[in-house]
Amino acid sequence: MKSSGIAVVAGLAVVVLGISLLRVMSGGSSPRERGASPPPRRVKGVLKLANDHQELYSKSGHDLTRLTEKAVERLAAGLSPEERNVLLGRGTEQAFCGGLLDNKEAGTYLCRLCGLPLFASDAKFDSGTGWPSFFQPTDPAHIRNVPEKSGGQVYAEILCMRCRSHLGHVFHDGPQPTGLRYCLNSVALRFFADGAELPAEARPVSSEKAYFAGGCFWGIEDRFQQVPGVIDAASGYAGGATSKPTYEQVCSGATGHAEAVRVSYDPKRVSYQELLEWFFKFHDPTQMNRQGPDVGSQYRSAIFVSGETQMQMAKDHIAGLQESRRFGDREIVTLVGRLETFHEAEEYHQDYHAKHGGSCPLP
């Protein structure tokens, strides 16, 4: 539990009442309690599929936004009859006849239709089934599984997440460490040997980074992951002097670090200015060294910049907010400073909302 801030205000009746109300409204115990783990919420780049054509990114930075039917047909114009039958007609090529079955070169296997990276050669193995087989994809978010059942056997059809073309099937009889066998049609793949330049559609998007601190990083991370154009958000520590700080050290308030979030974003879809606007919607920038029940310098409001452009934009935005009196007579106490080092937090802090179904409530 994040107890450092709560302990300071635990004796205040108003805060206790407020926390109690939050628990009632959320239908249970506080999301800060480690034991509480409601069903995980869908998150950007992995599971968030509420809108079929919304902007999606994988953890490896690839654009997974589903292609429109027109785009798919345009890409399919050059397919051979066999390729079209497999990719679009959900067919299966004849066993032991695929051109990539015996390929042992080191490299990457892309979706034949849209070029999304799917499998790497170091995950390929000889299954003896007559089709190229792999025990894991390059990024699990690049594959969409559609469960099927036949003759008592449970397996799944595998589709390319971006273009939804049919690739093959996955079975639970593969080697360790996954125990899976991704059984692919050769005609559903394109192979590029190591050292060869990958086509543009196979590369991660060109991203930029921004760094924000506004209370518990669980909540700020979760909010930014929902912003269209954000590729990923990671929790960590910034603004302190201690090298390789731990969570316990930061909680003590002695390291000078703030709980911060690194936001990787696609500048073609969301600007730094827009991220600033979201940041000041996500938290209360008038609270000094705290956010709600979280008290301490590690919960301060801060923007860590990586250049003069970000520095000036952040300062101008704060000045504009103060002048607009959006927060009334309260002073905005958000600090703006140059980023020295960002230390990623421990793994159990990453994607906390997705793992546990809750995060620190923000004011």
| CA atoms of 109 and 116, how far apart (whole Å) | 9
Pairing, β 143-150 against β 153-160: antiparallel
Q: How far apart are CA 126 and CA 124, in angstroms?
A: 7
* Separation CA 103–CA 15 (nearest Å): 64
Residue among 160, 183, 251, 360 flagged as catalytic: 183
Q: Give the residue from 122, 121, 134 showing the smallest Cα distance to 175.
A: 134
| Cβ atoms of 353 and 218 closer than 8 Å | yes
Active-site annotation holds for 216: yes
User: How many angstroms from the chain centroid is the CA of residue 215?
Assistant: 20
Catalytic residue among 114, 163, 216, 251: 216
Side chain identity, residue 169:
H
* Residue 183 a catalytic site member: yes
Specify burial of residue 269 (Cβ count, 10 A radius: 0-12, 13-18, 19+).
Answer: middle
Torsion of CA 186, 58, 32, 248, to 10 degrees: 100
Which segments of the chain are extended strands (E)?
Answer: 107-111, 117-120, 124-125, 133-134, 143-150, 153-160, 166-171, 181-184, 189-193, 208-214, 230-238, 258-265, 290-291, 294-295, 301-305, 335-338, 342-344
Q: Enumerate the active-site residues.
A: 183, 216
